[in-house]
Chain A
Amino acid sequence: MIMQKMKKVEIITEGSNIEMLKRLLDKIDIQGYTIFHNLEGMGSHGFHEGHLLFNEEDALVMLMSVVEPQKAEDIALGLEPFLQKHSGAIFLTDTIRAKAKKN
């Protein structure tokens, strides 16, 4: 196993923004991430119902990715104006990526 210090980036946003977000990450060469749909919770913009059966645009989603520390900072600072105007948040956490050695 190779242990590597990385940053975990979690971005919470409205479903209608997820395509844009995926594309922006692709622009800076981040192609690996996981998306969690239908999040429910309370924030400064009020309560967000998580089970909108026929409306994915207004339900919250979370995109999680593990990246090098510099890129994590770029993401947080680069997306700052967007998050100032939209529901959502970014969380950065120290993490370790355990990568299996390939023969």
Chain B
Amino acid sequence: MIVSNKEILYINSLIENAVDLFHNFWPMTSFIHHNPLHGFENMHFEEAICKATTYFHNRKFLSRQEYQKFYKEGKIDTAKLKTEIRDYCHKKELGEEYAKLFFHIFTNPETINKIDKQKVKQIKERLSSTCTSRRPQKLGINFGFCDAIDGLYGTTLCQEINSKLNKMAMRHLDEGQASWLPADKEKGMFYSWKRLIRKDRLFFDKSLQICRILIQSDKPEDVIFWVLSELQIPKDDWEEFFVLQFGKLHGWTGFLRWRSTNQDYLYQKKYPAYLEEFLAIRLYFLYMYLYKMKNKIGFFPDFVKLKSVLAQKESFLRLEYNSENILPGFIEKYEDALHKNSLKEMYDEYMIAFSEEHREQNAIFLHKILKNLDEDFDDYSLLLENLREFEDYEGFIWLKAMEESYLDDLMKKVALNIDKESRDNPSAQLFFCIDVRSESIRRCIEESGNFDTYGIGGFFGIPLKLIDISKKYESNLCPAVVKPKNIVYKFEDTQTSCGTKLKKVLKHIYHDLKYNTMSAYIMVETIGLLFGFDFFGKTIIPNQYMPLRAKFLDEKYRGKLLIDKYSKKDILNRIKALQKEIIKLAIKDNFALDVSSLDDELEEFLEIATSHEDLLKLKKGKIEPITKLALSLNLMHHEEVKLLELLQKEYQVSYFHKMQHIEKLSKVGFTFNEQLFYAKNALKLTGLSEKFSSVVIFCGHESKSENNPYESALDCGACGGKSSDTNAKVLAYILNKQEIRDGLKPDIKIPKSTIFISALHNTVTDRVVLDTQNIPKDRKIEIDNIQKRLNSATKKSALQRAKSLPFAKELNEKRALKFIERNSQDWSQTRPEWGLATNHSFIIAPRNTTRGIRFDNRVFLHSYDYTQDKIGYYLEIILSAPLVIGEWINMEHFFSALDNKAFGSESKVYHNVVGRFGVISGNISDLRTGLAAQSVYKRGEIYHEPIRLLTFIDAPFRRYRITIDKIKKVSELVYNEWIKMVFIDREEEAFFYYHGNSKSWKKIEFKGVIK
């Protein structure tokens, strides 16, 4: 069977639609916070959560008890709660008696232990005999072939197929952790798997048509198409069927989805893997398992047959029994009837008992609710129905009340601060990432001296790809929604000590040890001493040991950055120099000759090798060489031709490779105009265009912890889960150039005396270290003084942040710093810092709107001055990237806290690193996505209160509202209520906020919130 082009596209279109519901998973080395329900953002938030339960089997909201705890702690305002309940009753056309009842239910935790049997009986009599919500399942999105078979016949097909796929994915997607590689891995996942499965006697039988397709075709679509036809799935249901299949392992699905849209990812290039291949392999196993079931159940369970079986009465009993829901008194009866083949006869008896049992349960439920309530209701059946409906929605009422309470509090704080003036002549201006963790250090710095701070996306508005030549890796340092066009090279400074090679070897061995048990046995003697030190040092005395280790295995070498663009002439010269070196190497390898001194000859030979035309055709019968190089080396004509061919084919010295190098090198660095553009953007975005202080500092940030696969989740989210140190350095370098400052005039006036420097903020310890490498000597004292102030701010901030960590006993400034430094170096620490947990708001405003307010590291702060942005151009930039990333971070935490099993990765204690790109639970599982329990829970209770991002924009509502409507993504987030949007309108002295219940913007005057 060969599918047509149209069918190939059709199947892949459906696959794309199906996986849209499952979020991307980035490799953990560059952990990207994302909204697990990103694919649902075109729906209203509430609708999306309800729909997601079908695919993720998640709970829709926190339990009543969890919300009641927040209510008790004062995080939910009573008036707000009552308003939300009233809004709900109004929407459902329920009277005041219901509003009272619901409030009573909310605020009075269930205390009844004793059941009054007489009362229950009376209630039961007033209930109608309608049966139950549990009805026979229909084949569909959350009840597929395997679910149906498992439910009907007590098998474990789902589990077995998942296990096959887990193993296959772990094998193929491995990035260097496994010591054994499957054959033909470089030819793609489907091809490589095909080779393997053909050797599997249990799952490969040449007499079967599907196996013959595997032999004949390399197209996964052929397998998909064939299985769909065999299972007789109606064409209209294909997409739903695909969703069901991908949803069974949404971790791997997310990773494959990410890889398939990142073709330049090193391992995707090396070992391609695509979603249609994953699906084809899954469907192959599904078919084989169903085929095997044929003997057991007497028919091949295709869609049509299975549907008719499920419609039979006895199927309901089978499903009840196999899902362990059957009424206790019927277990033996069922087994007996199954044996006698008389399930059909047992059905009616069971349904009567089943209905009775449900009425009893409903009566008890009503009894508990009504016991302490004066109110009575005429129609208990209607009451029950309303209560059940309310229960199905109540979490949204709690959520909205909690959000409104936070919103009220923030509005009050902002309104009280609204007249604050900006600081005059600050001695330094410091730029920090908008990351919530910058908030306390910014506040402490401002309190420690005459400093002004600004907030900007941690990539400082400069998207770049960093290629670290010494470490041989490249990374995109910008938000995940951008693909950087400029490359910055980082190369080793010549000052690096000569022991680098030894260090590399040791590091390699050390790394290998962590992942490979075999090498641990073999290599432990070689580096026994080092490993012994590491083991004891990191565990017992991390504070003293880690600085010593850093000296020995120094990770932070002094790297230089290549930021300016090469001229065309420079590019050609560099390529020429490189290729000449390669020719020397090739001659040494193949002719054992040293040609270092033959520069002219090499140059001529290089010209020929990299020419567009063939200048050195092998001439028949010719012996004398043509080139000067061959003449000097006494080579024959055929030898110089051979050398040329070798260079072009093996050593990549050819016209094609020259052009490739030119293209690559032309992406390195930034042109003058690009530098000007990015510098202007960074400053204008934050509203700093005049009154520059003598020192302006760009603080990149990173997190340092040991033995933590989630380390990059604690790094800069705006830099794709990497350190933003490089971006800070690049911007400082650009703005220190006089020609750039001249180019920025007259819009931005930077005095000659102003210097720009970078710094690095470690978010675990809150240390901010200035980069003093290129500081003029006469400014050294000034910079030293700033560093001292920063150190004292670190202690204050560290104390505030440390207190929220478990085991932080009686701490003072000194002990707090020691405590968190130990955390960052202790490799048994599962929670070195809280990261971005508890984030709840995003404020786009000048600093004077928020200066002095203590937000406890819960707010993203982006500087912005609308008076410098008449047409809203810079606001659009902030909304379309930093805010979108903020929403991803907020939603990641929201859902990981809401349901850590469905959207998070549960406890780190059971995690194992897989393939060097992710974690699994235990020794085999789906790829675990989302945040670990330790990131959102504290001592088993929710630490991150899940609320949607409360977004404030300090700009006149009527003029700037249009920026929201202009960007589809942002308008979707606002009007579908994935974020709560508020304008701080200084001109009208009021807040304007989008009220979801009434679907309109509401005005609240500043005066109105300050009571």
Contacts and interface: CB of A to CB of B under 8 A. Distances in A.
A87 to B, nearest CB: 8
Interface string A51-82: 11111111000000000000101110111111
A41 B17 CA distance: 24
Given A81-B13, A85-B17, A54 B881 contact: yes
Interface string A12-32: 000011011001100110000
A80 B481 contact: no
B10 interface: yes
Contact of A54 (B4, B261, B263, B880): B880
A52 B479 contact: no
B813 interface: no
A34 to B, nearest CB: 18
Contacts of A78: 5-10, 12-13
Contacts of A58: 481, 880, 884, 967-969
B263 A23 contact: yes
A52 B880 contact: yes
B881 A53 contact: yes
B968 A28 contact: no
B516 interface: no
Interface string B597-609: 0000000000000
B12 A27 contact: yes
B667 to A, nearest CB: 16
B362 interface: no
Given A55-B481, A55-B881, A80 B5 contact: no
A58 B261 CA distance: 15
Contact of B966 (A20, A49, A54, A82): A49
B6 A77 contact: yes
B1004 to A, nearest CB: 28
A23 B12 CA distance: 10
Interface in B1-50: 4-10, 12-14, 16-17, 20
Contacts of B4: 74
A47 B966 contact: yes
Given A53-B877, A54-B461, A19 B261 contact: yes
Contacts of A79: 9, 13
Interface residues of B, number: 40
A52 B876 contact: yes
B205 interface: no
Contacts of B260: 19-20, 23
A102 interface: no
A38 B877 CA distance: 14
Nearest to B457: A54
Contacts of A23: 260, 263, 274
A45 interface: yes
Interface string B251-279: 00000000011110000000000100000
Contacts of B971: 46
A55 B482 contact: yes
Given A24-B12, A75-B9, A49 B968 contact: yes
Contacts of B967: 49, 52, 58
A45 B483 CA distance: 25
A10 B506 CA distance: 55
A51 B681 CA distance: 14
A56 B482 contact: yes
B239 interface: yes
Contacts of B10: 77-78, 80-81
A57 B9 CA distance: 22
A80 to B, nearest CB: 7
A57 B483 CA distance: 9
A54 B463 contact: yes
Nearest to B878: A54
A47 B877 contact: no
Given A49-B967, A55-B481, A74-B5, A82 B880 contact: no
Given A28-B9, A53-B681, A78-B13, A19 B880 contact: no
B457 to A, nearest CB: 8
Contacts of B482: 54-56
26 contacts: A19-B261, A20-B261, A23-B263, A28-B9, A47-B966, A51-B876, A52-B881, A54-B461, A54-B479, A54-B482, A54-B880, A54-B881, A55-B479, A55-B884, A58-B880, A58-B969, A74-B5, A74-B6, A78-B10, A79-B9, A79-B13, A80-B13, A81-B14, A82-B17, A85-B17, A87-B968
Interface of A: 16-17, 19-20, 23-24, 27-28, 45-49, 51-58, 71, 73-75, 77-82, 85, 87
Given A19-B262, A28-B5, A85-B17, 7 more contacts: A17-B16, A28-B8, A47-B966, A53-B881, A55-B884, A55-B969, A71-B5
